[in-house]
Amino acid sequence: MNKFKFLFFLVGFLVIASCSKDEFKTEGELMGEKVQQLANREDISSVVAYLADLNGGYTTYRKSDEARFFKIEGQVILVGRSYYNLGKLVKYKIVYDNTKSKILELYFEGYQ
C-alpha cells in the first residue's frame, strides 16, 4: 500500500511540475494582454486612469493619472509614474480628444 501512495504522489507531483506558467494566468494578466492588444490595434495616444470613490452609496470616478507613456507588465499597468493592478480594472473605453487622438480610459476599483 505504501508503494501505491508513493506512486500516486509522484505522478501528482510530475503532473503539477510539468505545467507551464502560461497555463495559469491571473485575471489581471489576461486583462493586461487584452488591453495591450487593444492599445496596439487602436493606436492609442495616451491613457487616463480613474479610481472609484463611494459617495453616499454611489460609485463615482476621479481622475488619478494621465500620461502619453504607459507600459503593461504582467497584471499591472504603468501610467506615467503610477502602477495600477489590472485585476482591479472595472471597465475601459476609448474616447477622442478635440484633435481626434484616441485616449484609453481605464476605470479601477478605488485603490492602486
Specify if 71 maps to a domain.
yes
Q: In which band, very low, low, confident or very high, does the pLDDT at 71 lie, cut at 50, 70 and 90?
A: very high
Task: Please give the residue range of the domain that contains residue 28.
Answer: 23-108
Per-residue confidence at 6, pLDDT binned at 50, 70, 90? low
- The count of domains in the chain is 1
Kindly state the greatest CA–CA separation across the chain: 75
Asked if residue 9 is part of any domain, the answer here is: no
Residue 27: inside a domain: yes
The reported pTM is 0.74
Residue 93 lies in a domain: yes
* 46 in a structural domain: yes
Q: What does the chain come to in residues?
A: 112
Q: What is the 3-state secondary structure (H, E, C) of 39-99?
A: HHHHCCCEEEEEEEEEECCEEEEEEEEEECCEEEECCEEEECCEEEEHHHEEEEEEEECCC
Tell whether 16 is covered by a domain. Answer: no
Return the CATH number at 73: 3.10.20
